[in-house]
Every structure is written in structure tokens, then in C-alpha cells.
């Protein structure tokens, strides 16, 4: 069974850094792209970008380029979302999702449970 | 970037009814459109991909159609458990943005 399990909720203060993990199981980790999606409180879904665990290739949405980075640890089947210099506007739920491939026609078949990140002083 | 316009933003219907949600894109995207729904406190779930293909395990009362710039999601024989927010997503070109969502209430 394919599963994506994300790290737990983290309360952060402005200026702090964030590292959210997404641990995969039930399939060959290196072979499938992982996307990261942000959902601000009461709002819709925003595609942040995607990472390919096989070679750590990354693609970022222009809206998030330079603001976040993705990394991979193949030894533990885990991808990470990193963000520094947090602001209150970064308060959101962050999701990871698995894609069958990257590019036109792809789809987000499996999702993590989401990681709530409130940022408040 | 491709702009997504989803309508209506909310609707209410009764058990057994049929409803249609529309997604319009600012440029032609062939059939590179997915539909998801999301229940409160849960992750989104894929319903339809490639505009009309039903994801494995999704009930047959969900159907999608359209190509180019205009797409619809139809839910027939509404059930209580269909109460959720529905999102479209284009996967024609990056950034792979989502619509703003349609909140469906089942009376």
C-alpha cells in the first residue's frame, strides 16, 4: 500500500526556519516524483513545485522559486520541504503528493496527511 | 501562467440530486485537467484525471467532461458523503495551479 506520512504540526515564530518531512512507503521511492502543495487557512491549493527522488531534480513554481527548497534522503525514503525566514503569511498546511510522472497529464494520486504550520509571535 | 476559473464558488443540493461544477482555463489545455475533492481536515483526493477518466475506486456517480478551455464535473445521485470542496487542476504546463474551489453542501 502506497503511503506518504508527513511530520507533525510545528508552531513557529517569525524568522525561524521550517523543515517538513514526507516519508514514503509501499513503492519504489526513487521512481516517482513528489509534489509539494500549500493550503493557506480557508483557502485553495497552491502548487509549490516537485522533486524527483531518483536524482533530486527539482522544479519550482515561480511563486515559490527562491522561497523554498526541496531535498531528498533516499536512505530513509524521505523528501523534505525547507523554508527559512518564516513570516505570519507562511501559516498554512503543507501537503506532499506522489505523481506517476512529471509533466503534462500528470496527477496527484496519493497524498500525505498534511503538516500544519502556524507562524505566530 | 494559466488562469483557472471555477464556478460556482458554493452550492447546496439534496441527496439524490445531480450537480455540475465548471472549470474554465485562460488558454487551451487539451484534456490535461484533474478534479479533486477535499473534506474538512483531510487531504485532497483525486477523483477524475485527464478530464474524464475516473480514478480507481471512485464511485461511478462522478464524471468529468470537456477539452480545450471548458470542463465540467458532474456528480449524480448525490450522497451525504459528497459534501466537500471540489478543486480542478490543470497539468498542461507549469505552474500546475488549482482552481479556487467549489464548496458543496448536501442538505
* Inter-chain residue contact B43 with A114, CB threshold 8 Å: yes
| Three-point CA angle A80, A24, B57, nearest 5° | 125
Q: Alpha-carbon distance B56 to A17, whole Å?
A: 38
In the predicted structure, residue A13 carries a pLDDT above the cut 90: yes
* Inter-chain residue contact A45 with B46, CB threshold 8 Å: no
> CB contact, 8 Å: B40 with chain A?
no
Residue of B99, B96, B38, B95 lying closest to B72 (CA atoms): B99
DSSP state of A17: -
Q: Alpha-carbon distance A24 to A2, whole Å?
A: 7
pLDDT, position B11: 97
* Inter-chain residue contact B43 with A112, CB threshold 8 Å: yes
pLDDT, position B15: 97
In the predicted structure, residue B24 carries a pLDDT above the cut 90: yes
pLDDT, position B104: 98
Digit-coded pLDDT (tens) for B41-76:
999 999 999 999 999 999 999 999 999 999 999 999
Burial of A29 (0-12, 13-18, 19+ CB in 10 A): buried
Confidence of residue A91 (pLDDT cuts 50, 70, 90): very high
Q: Alpha-carbon distance B64 to B50, whole Å?
A: 9
Digit-coded pLDDT (tens) for A26-59:
999 999 999 999 999 999 999 999 999 999 999 9
Q: Alpha-carbon distance A103 to A118, whole Å?
A: 31
Q: What is the DSSP string of A78-110?
A: EEEEEE-S--GGG-EEEEEEE-SSSSTT----E
In the predicted structure, residue A103 carries a pLDDT above the cut 90: no
Residues of A with Cβ-Cβ distance to B97 under 8 angstroms: 46-47
DSSP state of B73: E
Beta-carbon contacts of residue B69 (< 8 Å; ≥ 6 apart):
B24, B25, B26, B27, B28, B29
Give SS3 for A119. strand
Amino acid at each position: 500500500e502506497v503511503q506518504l506520512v508527513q511530520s507533525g504540526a510545528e508552531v513557529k515564530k517569525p524568522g525561524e526556519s521550517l523543515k517538513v518531512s514526507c516519508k514514503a512507503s509501499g513503492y519504489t521511492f526513487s521512481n516517482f516524483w513528489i509534489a509539494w502543495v500549500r493550503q493557506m487557512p480557508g483557502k485553495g491549493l497552491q502548487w509549490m513545485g516537485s522533486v524527483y527522488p531518483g536524482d533530486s531534480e527539482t522544479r519550482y513554481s515561480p511563486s515559490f522559486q527562491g522561497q523554498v527548497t526541496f531535498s531528498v534522503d533516499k536512505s530513509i525514503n524521505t523528501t523534505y520541504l525547507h523554508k527559512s525566514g518564516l513570516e505570519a503569511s507562511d501559516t498554512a498546511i503543507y501537503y506532499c503528493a506522489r505523481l506517476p510522472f512529471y509533466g503534462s497529464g500528470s496527477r496527484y494520486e496519493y497524498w500525505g496527511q498534511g503538516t500544519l504550520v502556524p507562524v505566530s509571535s | 501562467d494559466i488562469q483557472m476559473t471555477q464556478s460556482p464558488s458554493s452550492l447546496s443540493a439534496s441527496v439524490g440530486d445531480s450537480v455540475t461544477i465548471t472549470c474554465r482555463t485562460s488558454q487551451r489545455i487539451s484534456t490535461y485537467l484533474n478534479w479533486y475533492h477535499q473534506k474538512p481536515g483531510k487531504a485532497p483526493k483525486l477523483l477524475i484525471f485527464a478530464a474524464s477518466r475516473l480514478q480507481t475506486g471512485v464511485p461511478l456517480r462522478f464524471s468529468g467532461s470537456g477539452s480545450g478551455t471548458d470542463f465540467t464535473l458532474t456528480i449524480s445521485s448525490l450522497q451525504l458523503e459528497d459534501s466537500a470542496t471540489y478543486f480542478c487542476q490543470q497539468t498542461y504546463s507549469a505552474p500546475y495551479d488549482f482552481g479556487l474551489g467549489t464548496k458543496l453542501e448536501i442538505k
